[in-house]
Amino acid sequence: MADDRADDTQVGAGSTRMVIAGASVGTVFEWYDFYLYGSLATFITRHFFSGVNETTGYIFALLAFAAGFAVRPFGALVFGRLGDLWGRKNTFLVTMLLMGLSTFVVGLLPSYEAIGVAAPIMLITLRLIQGLALGGEYGGAATYVAEHSPPGKRGLYTSWIQITATMGLFLSLLVILLIRGQVGEEAFAAWGWRVPFLVSILLLGVSLWIRLRLGESPVFRKMAAEGKGATQPLRESFGRWGNLKLVILALFGLTAGQAVVWYTGQFYALFFLERMLKVDGALANSLVAIALVLGTPFFILFGWLSDKIGRKPVILTGCLLAALTYFPIFQGLTAAANPDLAAAVARAPVTVTADPADCALQFDPVGKTAFTSSCDVAKAALASAGVSYENRAAPAGTIASVQVGANQVISFRGGGLAKAEFDARKAAWVKTLGAALKDAGYPAKADPAKVNRPLVVGLLWLLMLYVTLVYGPIAAALVEMFPARIRYTSMSLPYHLGNGWLGGFLPTTAFAMVAATGNIYYGLWYPIAVAAMTFLVGLLLVKEMRGAPMDA
């Protein structure tokens, strides 16, 4: 590692803006690496989870994405401890190196067809490395910038760090769109999806060059010079009730709601457009990217506002608005992005009537289970078609049926049939159901000519506005809650428990809820419940810490 004294001369005294810009740009590249996987989940499914059925494969791909989030709290403990012992700058140099190299290797991995089950195992291993690295990255960057910032501008300055996650997502979407346009959809699906991962090695080089020019945090240097640094950061952070209480309040009263609002407004919105509304992938990415660009300046605005009125009012306003308006916003997205689907649902709602005992949760981890009951046949066909439906219980032993408006399509029992006979019966039945759906006006895909682009972007921007409300001030709020000697460790854990577990598992959890109920909006109950909880806990129990001294 470069000597920090040399770094001081490189950066220069009083170069706060250089410090903020350097930390922020480096973190953009970190988030680019991490979010590529989420943006390319559909292609990951095809190449690494092709050994199971389509629904199971997609859930597996989301779980592999979530695996990176699952280990983020452990990365927070490992690298948070190092950051409080070893220094802010050196620690986030290591995390960035781990992140960049593991992302690059994803682009080189053989597919499931080439090496079998070893492919997904290797992929998940790399995801775990990424998650561990990111667990130490955010706390280091946020602490580093906050400890360079004057008290009256801490929210403003750290809001630049908050932009980096969105800009990383935007950059990943931009690179994907450019490559898709250059090589075409067929080539992109075959091999072009690997290129964004491989490009990350160039971004890693730029990030390292920038961060090596930065010096250590003045607060950490002062602590080290005076011998006041932590010797046991984990014990001091979590073994003493006074600080552990703050960690718990930071999680449930700030970061939990912030996390689900962030992931709903950016990731789940994109997933909803592509998977539920059947909007063309390139078009969906473009619309989300436009909304990100329009919404990004509000990170700075709300970071600045939190310096004036406090962190809590801004963050909790975002949580409350999200909890109150998610249902109408996503219903509005349906009407704007796929009006044919919205019209068909209103005109000819779909209902599955079946014996509940005949219906299984169609998640098959090993690809060996045959879902042959009449209920499973019906629901699998509707899920593949992306059609939302309601469930109605029928007496025991009843053969499942699908009601499409006034038309009824009776399913069949496939148990006991030879595989060839079952496949033929199922294909004929799916064709009959498809004809009924088509007659009722259900589209196979969203018609690009009918997508109300301005309205879709406007609704996505509104979701993005909620993201900026909760995320713009969160770094300042967290760093001000904890003492300097254990700040990196203490703030990193609640942030990554919230964002890694409650936020990171949101796409998987929400999709599973949709698959179980047949209602494309049912998954929204998850972020709504968490955001509402955070609003109440934050309002009643979290103390406003705006302007707290950084060297205390």
In sequence order, the 6+-apart residues with CB closer than 8 A to the CB of 399 are 374, 410, 411, 412, 413
Kindly give the pairing relationship between strand 407-410 and strand 390-393: unpaired
Contact present, 135 and 75 (Cβ < 8 Å): yes
CA distances from 532 to 182, 321, 528 (A): 44, 9, 6
Alpha carbon separation from 479 to 71, 142, 491, 541, 547 (Å, rounded): 22, 8, 6, 18, 10
Pairing of strands 401-404, 407-410: antiparallel
d(CA 205, CA 256): 33
Q: Helix 88-106 to helix 72-86 angle, to the nearest 10 degrees?
A: 140
Please state, in angstroms and as integers, the Cα–Cα distance from residue 314 to each residue in 151, 267, 294, 417, 545, following that order: 18, 22, 19, 60, 13
Low-confidence ranges of the chain (pLDDT < 70): 1-14, 26, 30, 34, 38, 51-59, 62, 66, 229-230, 362-370, 552
DSSP letter for 214, please.
Answer: -
Domains and CATH numbers, the chain: 4-338+448-541 (1.20.1250.20), 343-439 (3.40.30)
Q: By the 8 A CB rule, do 210 and 141 touch?
A: no
What 3-state DSSP class applies to 392?
Answer: strand
Nearest to 164 by CA among 24, 315, 360: 24
- The secondary structure of 509-550, three-state, reads HHHHHHHHHCCCCHHHHHHHHHHHHHHHHHHHHCCCCCCCCC
pLDDT of residue 9: 34
In 3D space, the residue among 471, 497, 479 whose CA is nearest the CA of residue 76 turns out to be 497
Contact present, 534 and 319 (Cβ < 8 Å): yes
Q: Which residue has the tokens 């109605």?
A: 392
CA distance 443 to 256: 37
3-state secondary structure 451-473: CCHHHHHHHHHHHHHHHHHHHCC
CA distance 365 to 344: 34
How many angstroms separate the first and last alpha carbons of the chain?
28
> In this structure, which amino acid lies at residue 188?
F
CA distances in angstroms from 492 to 73, 80, 128, 147, 498, listed in the order given: 8, 6, 17, 15, 10
Closest among 164, 163, 172 to 297, alpha carbons compared:
163
Q: Please list the alpha-helical segments (H only) found in 338-418.
A: 339-347, 374-385
Q: How, if at all, do strands 350-354 and 401-404 pair?
A: antiparallel
